[in-house]
Amino acid sequence: MNKECSLRLHILFGLFVGLLVGMNLLGNKITTLFGVSVSVGIFMVPLTFLITDIIEEVYGKEVVKHFIIAGVLTIILMFLFTGLCIWLPPNERFANNEEYKLIFGSSMRIMVASVIAFALAQLHDMWSFAYWKNKTHGKFLWLRNNLSTWVSQAIDTFVFMMIAFYHITDKFTLEFIIQLSIPYYLFKVSFAILDTPFVYLGVAWLKGNKNKSS
């Protein structure tokens, strides 16, 4: 692997970890898209699957495993440091400790939900992408990318919603969470379809440099 190829792989790795940090710290805010309530993290989650599909297409499952392991460790480390920062007593000059605890304390349950949903969904995506690549003999990248991502996003959405929100109030029953999950999932699927051209661009960008180093 030449230096340019290594740099591009590391750029994707940095973006992948950065997206995980962003969606865990920022994802507890709810916005409205086309009349549907969704987490702002919806803009970042599909990009993590986009990156791992690009990596697996060029470098295979083993490199994707490294990304997943690093992602899980990153979220766990964030969880531990978030707990530490909330627990430490504030300096008398810091007047916003209650607001700090309110904002970042709510992120802790989200992080637990995120690390479990992330690991299960990404492991499925890795396996499914390889399965469909074998079935299609390495052709139809658009199909493999979408088939693996659609199911993985369903796993990610439902597992995350259940762990993060189940019975946080009496309103959040199983039926209510399913109702919330369906439009949220459909948004993710829409983003996955829209990002298909970027899978081809990312693979060409990465594969071209890999071939040069061969």
pTM of the model: 0.87
Would you say residue 208 has pLDDT above 80? Answer: no
Backbone angles phi, psi at 39, to 5 degrees: -75, 145
pLDDT at 170: 86
The mean pLDDT value for 155-178 works out to: 89
Question: Of 67-81, 83-97, 100-114, 129-143, which gets the smallest average pLDDT?
Answer: 100-114
CA atoms within 13 A on the CB side of 6: 3
* pLDDT tens figures, 126-152: 999 999 999 999 999 999 999 999 999
pLDDT at 27: 80
For residues 72 and 120, the answer to whether their CB atoms sit within 8 Å is no
